[in-house]
Amino acid sequence: MTAQKACKLCFQESKDFQVIEENMREILDVLLLKIDFSLNEDYVICERCADSIYTFFEFKSVFLYMEDRIAPFIERHRLQRKFCRRYCCKVYSRSS
């Protein structure tokens, strides 16, 4: 019989849990969820929290990928707008 342990994230006791290993610790770090692992214990996370963490990590990964893909286009658009404003101001001031 499996003993109940408290989830490190939601603090609910559950029989369905997984030990927070190095890969999950890295995911938590990427998601900026700071957890103190200083005690030499087996910290656990319930299945519900683990599913939520994996889902959010997948979302953040896709978001960061798309941000990297879109950033050059946004920067180019900003530069074009800046150039147009400067050019239009010069042309307008010459015609006045």
pLDDT at 93: 60
H or E element that contains 26:
helix 22-30
Q: In this predicted structure, what is the pLDDT of residue 92? A: 58
> Where do the domains of the chain lie?
5-95
The answer, yes or no, to whether residue 89 has pLDDT greater than 80, is: no
pLDDT in tens, 21-78: 888 888 888 887 777 767 767 788 888 988 998 999 899 889 888 888 888 877 777 7
Query: pLDDT higher for 16 or 36?
Result: 16
Kindly write down the DSSP assignment for every residue of 40-56, as one continuous string. Answer: SS--EEEHHHHHHHHHH
> Which DSSP category does 87 fall into?
H
What is the third-level CATH fold of 5-95?
Answer: His-Me finger endonuclease fold (3.40.1800)
Q: Phi and psi dihedrals of 14, rounded to 5?
A: -155, 155
